[in-house]
């Protein structure tokens, strides 16, 4: 899944870009979630207040309330890992664009072949950069490398991320917390990283941090023990066996 935003005050043009985007993605059977915003201020509110996360943004430069350059600067200040593709009929802004680290620039009117080339290049970059779990807490976007996450733990609406601190021992697990649902976390993680097991209604565990697995529980490298719920035991053992390359263990 690629999360895409189109920000352009020309409603008709934005609709055409969305149709071209969906058509291009469908050519390679890629799933995209696309949202359209008529102004940069609307996009920034969506990111900061509604906690929307985007992988790719097609951004017009000349907009009335908040232009594309100011919008991109606001996004960069939040250190969000977003690829920005400017779309404009004016090339006089090219020098100003470099400070916002754009991925590409498309000229209006957009040529279909050029759009496809840029989109697939962006997709490849996004695919290579999906080594981070991203979440919002107190309107701040946080990124944690998947290989430093031992497990996700759910307690009501609070998700705890148990992780190893950079440069520290794997036994030194530090929690980060945010509000969300473990089912939604599992969906996000599954689309980005294939090394997590759902062993319990409240736990999603990184295979690389499992020290031992028994019939009813697993032990992590830091000694933490997690019960495997009865209805998930068969699936969890099968998943563990597949990741470990152990044929027959799941039986």
- The 3 state secondary structure assigned to 5-30 is EEECCCHHHHHHHHHHHHHHHHHCCC
Same domain (yes/no): 155, 124: no
Regarding whether 151 and 122 lie in a shared domain, the answer is no
Instruction: Tell me what pLDDT residue 175 has.
Output: 53
- Print the domain residue range for 60: 2-128
DSSP string, 150-192: EEEEEETTEEEEEEEPTTS-TT-EEEEEEE--HHHHHHHHHHH
Tell me the β-bridge partners of 112: none
CB atoms within 10 A of CB 126: 18
Q: Is residue 133 part of a domain?
A: no
10 & 117 share domain: yes
109 with 213, same domain: the answer is no
Q: Single out the residue of 79, 67, 68, 71 nearest to residue 45, CA to CA.
A: 71
Interatomic CA distance for residues 203 and 59, integer angstroms: 38
Q: CATH number, domain at 196? A: 2.40.50.1020
Closest CA to 8 of 71, 73, 58, 83: 58
Residue from 104, 98, 179 nearest 136 by CA: 179
Taking residue 62's Cβ as centre, other Cβ atoms within 10 Å add up to 14
Q: Is 206 helix (H, G, I), strand (E, B) or coil?
A: strand
Contact 37, 7 (CB under 8 A): yes
Is there a domain that residue 210 lies in?
yes
Collapse the DSSP code of 64 into the 3-class scheme (helix H, G, I; strand E, B; otherwise coil) and give the result.
Answer: coil
Q: Give the pLDDT confidence score for residue 167 in this predicted structure.
A: 38
Q: What pLDDT score was predicted for residue 48?
A: 83
Let me know whether 105 and 161 are in one domain: no
Local structure of 73: helix, strand or coil: helix
Gap between the Cα atoms of 68 and 86, Å rounded: 8
Examine the domain organization and report whether 85 and 155 are in the same domain: no
Specify whether the CB–CB gap between 143 and 81 falls below 8 A. Answer: yes
> How high is the pLDDT of residue 13?
95
Length of the chain: 251
Can you give the pLDDT at residue 22?
96
Spell out the per-residue pLDDT of the chain, length 251, in tens: 788 999 999 999 999 999 999 999 999 888 898 999 999 999 999 888 877 878 899 999 888 888 888 999 998 887 677 899 999 876 665 666 666 778 899 988 999 999 999 999 999 888 766 577 888 877 777 778 787 789 999 998 999 998 865 334 344 444 588 999 999 999 888 877 778 999 999 999 998 888 888 889 999 988 899 999 999 998 888 888 887 766 555 55
Residues 154, 157, 161, 162: is their CA dihedral positive or negative?
negative
Query: Would the pTM count as exceeding 0.85?
Result: no
Residue 249 lies in a domain: no
Residues 3-23 as b/e (b if ≥16 CB within 10 A, e otherwise) read: bbbbbbbeeebbeebbebbee
Judge if 163 and 212 occupy the same domain.
yes
251 is a domain residue: no
**Total number of domains constituting the chain:** 2
Q: Are residues 164 and 172 in contact, defined by beta-carbon separation less than 8 angstroms?
A: yes
Residues 13 and 47 in one domain: yes
Among 68, 99, 128, the domain-final residue is 128
Instruction: Kindly state whether residue 134 falls inside one of the protein's structural domains.
Output: no
């Amino acid at each position: 899944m690629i999360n895409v935003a189109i920000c352009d005050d020309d409603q008709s043009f934005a609709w055409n870009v969305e149709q071209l985007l969906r058509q291009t993605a469908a050519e390679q059977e890629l799933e995209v979630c696309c949202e359209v915003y008529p102004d940069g201020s609307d996009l920034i509110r969506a990111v900061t207040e509604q906690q929307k996360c985007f992988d790719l943004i097609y951004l017009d430069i000349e907009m009335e309330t908040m232009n594309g350059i100011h919008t991109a600067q606001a996004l960069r200040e939040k250190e969000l890992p977003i690829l920005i593709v400017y779309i404009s009929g004016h090339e006089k802004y090219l020098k100003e664009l470099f400070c916002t680290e754009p991925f590409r620039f498309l000229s209006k009117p957009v040529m279909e072949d050029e759009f496809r080339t840029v989109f697939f290049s962006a997709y490849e970059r996004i695919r290579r950069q999906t080594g981070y779990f991203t979440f919002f807490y107190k309107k701040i976007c946080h990124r944690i490398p998947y290989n430093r996450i031992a497990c996700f733990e759910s307690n009501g609406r609070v998700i705890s991320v148990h992780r190893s601190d950079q440069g520290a021992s794997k036994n030194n697990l530090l929690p980060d917390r945010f509000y969300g649902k473990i089912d939604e976390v599992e969906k996000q993680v599954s689309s980005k990283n294939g090394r997590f097991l759902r062993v319990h209604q409240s736990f999603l565990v990184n295979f690389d941090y499992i020290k031992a697995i028994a019939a009813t529980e697993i032990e992590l490298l830091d000694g933490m023990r997690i019960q495997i719920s009865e209805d998930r035991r068969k699936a969890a053992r099968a998943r563990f066996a597949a990741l470990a390359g152990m044929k027959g263990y799941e039986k």
